[in-house]
Amino acid sequence: MPEKTFIEAIHDAMDEEMARDPSVVLLGEDVGLRGGVFRASTGLIEKYGERRVIDTPLAESSIAGVAIGMALNGLRPIAEMQFADFSFPAFNQIQSEAARFHYRSNGGWSVPLVVRMPYGGGPGVHGALYHSQSVEAFYAHIPGLKVVLPGTPYDAKGMLKAAIRDDDPVIFLEHKRAYRSVRGEVPDGDYTVPLGPAEVRREGRHVTIFAYGYMLHESLRAAEELAKSGVECTVVDVRSLKPLDVKTIAEAARLTGRVLVVHEDNRSFGAGAEIAAIVAEEALMYLDAPVRRLTGPDVPGIGFNHVFEVEFTPDAAKIARAARELAEF
């Protein structure tokens, strides 16, 4: 199986879906001639033309709103927010409109829309306060959306294809650090990965770590390190926050009774809080330690200086430390 980077997997998914289905279109800032600022859509405008690969005006609300209209009239748009940080002008279109169309029309209309958003930061990204935010908690709170955050190139391709074929609006979050640093096997040709089920990436009996996106890789590195000293971790790739795989989360928590949730997003009211609540509701009698969260702090984004990047961002060493403390509790 060929090895590809995360961004190549994203590119391939869009390329294959556009070839397969003429109703798939891509719109966003710089997605056409430039191929996207992260180069995710390189070559697509040449292949599919500027009617289907649309360089939009610099106005995010319009990207989302127009894409909704397209979806209402038979297209399957992929809207790219250049950075997740810039999705907020489009927030109203996503939350008041895309998420609610099906429900508010009692099933009369649906919005098959994918909003792709590069998100996150960390050491070496230098994204600062407005090019490094994690936005998943905002969107995962909204009924009617699906919110997924693949961690591997395999999932990136399979889940993006599933998202494009899904009849509901899907917020598809791509971690920028994963784009070129994460490589993995990606089959050529068609396959999908369902939006929802979590995946147990590693099994161990002492501590269960829940993570997604780039933090999956830091968690796996931490687990590798901990194994050398006899601490065995289960690592669960949550990869979909909406829907959330309550069953797998509960089972994985019961397995060890010690739970660590890792995310880069700000701490309060984040995915970690939801997962901790599920663990409390579904696995209390198996808990042998307080549920811990290791997250980005409650400050507005990752400062530009690399000292701030390191301080803000959970990494393998911090995860290993937290997991070890749990193991020793």
DSSP state of 305: S
Measured from the CB atom, is 235 or 278 closer to other proteins?
278
Size (the chain), residues? 329
CA nearest 261: which of 282, 290, 281, 284?
290
Shortest Cβ 240–other proteins spacing (Å): 8
Cα torsion angle, 311, 317, 321, 327, sign:
positive
At 136 the three-state DSSP class reads helix
Catalytic pick from 11, 131, 217, 263?
A: 131
> For residues 40 and 131, what is the distance between their CA atoms, to the nearest angstrom?
17
- Which two tokens mark 133? 């935010």
Quick check: is 175 catalytic?
Answer: no
Shortest Cβ 294–other proteins spacing (Å): 7
Measured from the CB atom, is 159 or 220 closer to other proteins?
159
- Which two tokens mark 240? 């979909």
Respond yes or no on whether the N-terminal peptide bond of residue 243 is cis (omega within 30° of 0).
yes
- Which two tokens mark 182? 């994460």
Residue whose structure tokens are 């330690």: 289
Measured from the CB atom, is 100 or 217 closer to other proteins?
100
Measured from the CB atom, is 187 or 194 closer to other proteins?
194
Shortest Cβ 187–other proteins spacing (Å): 20
Exposed / middle / buried, residue 165 (Cβ in 10 Å: 0-12, 13-18, 19+): middle
Shortest Cβ 131–other proteins spacing (Å): 7
Active site residues: 131
